[in-house]
């Protein structure tokens, strides 16, 4: 299951991770975000330690969303070695999301 994190946890968990990380910027009121949630949860289970999946609520963490240029949701950003390497805006399939971290 994709775990929701906050801005305080972001640096420690995402930027300092030695594994690739997918971060879903979402909002609870967003229809496409709700459609994407089960896909992300399934992807997190399938990852088997190869990469991590986290979620950030843009209504709670709007500063972090601004920092990464999130203008539309859902926005999924892939990080490797603490750096942004890929970005996808909108709904995506599990395979499309996997490609972001490969």
- Walk along the chain (102 residues) and give the pLDDT tens digit of each residue: 899 999 999 989 999 999 999 999 999 999 999 999 999 999 999 998 899 999 999 999 999 999 999 999 999 999 999 999 999 999 999 999 999 998
Give the C-alpha separation, 81 to 29, whole Å. Answer: 32
- As given in the structure block, the two tokens for residue 5 are 């994190």
For the four alpha carbons of 42, 47, 48 and 54, in that order, the dihedral sign comes to negative
Give the C-alpha separation, 16 to 36, whole Å. Answer: 26
pTM for the whole structure: 0.94
Task: Indicate which residues carry an active-site annotation.
Answer: 30, 33
In the chain, what are the domains?
3-101 (3.40.30.10)
């Amino acid at each position: 299951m994709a775990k929701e994190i906050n801005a305080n946890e972001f640096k420690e968990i995402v930027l300092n991770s030695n594994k690739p990380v997918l971060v879903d910027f979402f909002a609870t009121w967003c229809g496409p975000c709700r459609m994407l949630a089960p896909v992300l949860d399934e992807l997190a289970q399938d990852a088997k330690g190869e990469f991590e999946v986290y979620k950030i609520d843009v209504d709670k963490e709007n500063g972090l969303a601004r920092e990464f240029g999130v203008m539309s949701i859902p926005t999924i950003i892939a990080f490797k070695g603490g750096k942004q390497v890929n970005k996808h805006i909108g709904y995506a399939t599990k395979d499309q999301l996997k490609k972001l971290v490969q």
